[in-house]
Structure 1
Amino acid sequence: MDATPLREDLTLLLTALTAWTQDEVVRHLDSEGFGDLRVSHGYVFQHLQAGPVTVRELAEAMGVTAQAASKSTGELERMGYVTRTQGADLRVRMIELTKAGRDAILAGRLARAGVNAEMRLTLGEDAEVFDKALRTLAEATGALEELAKRRLRLIG
């Protein structure tokens, strides 16, 4: 059994910070009128920004089954954030962001910027060292590359 004190366990500290940052972003989104969104919706949105995709393409990009991608997009469609349209191949439906979906993405970016600013303000002059340390860890573990490929997935 690991006897590492909570305040020294980097895994738990990063987990706690991740939970806090996600909660703050969701809180900001709620205050901007996007209270129906969950963190998991962002994993769908990130793959729709470049333009319409098929459910199969979305599933492959997200690393999930077509059924899971279809379920997520169906929910977002009912909420008004995406629409399904007929593709050139009449058997294929394309999924694309609506104006509300694009507005939600912008609101999410602004929310993350606010959370980032709050954390940097809290850290003060240590913010630059913290930023560099996080980038070093993200690069060394391959997590930054996975993020750039938009392949990070929600666990659970």
Structure 2
Amino acid sequence: MIAIGADYGGPELKDTLLCRAIQRVSVTIKGLREPSATILLNPIFCVPGSVSGDLPFEGIQYGKFDKKKPCLATLVAVPAKRINERELVPYLLNELHGCNAMVFEFYRQKGLVFPLRDAESLLAMVAESLEGRSNEPTA
């Protein structure tokens, strides 16, 4: 139901604490969701860098909606000050909760169903699984 992406605005971001935290959350979500789950939400963490410069937005905004699948992308602007913070997983999960809420309402307005309870349960399982291990390298 959720598949995370990232748009790093420069090559210097590839081995930051933020990159590792995003990878950790993404791998954990993939491991915990049902293998046959349909991806309905694609949150993309957008990180400013040397190539992209400052992001043109703050917070979370809607991205593209694929009507055929259906799947909605959300764009999450990550402030530059967060790039090398410790304990990034709680921040990332909080942003994902925001994405869930936005996507639930988007789907509702389209007459479609987004399983909000399941998505929130998945994030709770991720939080429990990653408690105290937010910036460890991924396998």
- TM-score, reference length from structure 2: 0.34
Higher RCO (C-alpha under 8 Å, 6+ residues apart): 2
From the CA coordinates, give the structure whose radius of gyration is larger. Answer: 1
Higher strand fraction (1 or 2): 2
- TM-score, reference length from structure 1: 0.31
Higher helix fraction (1 or 2): 1
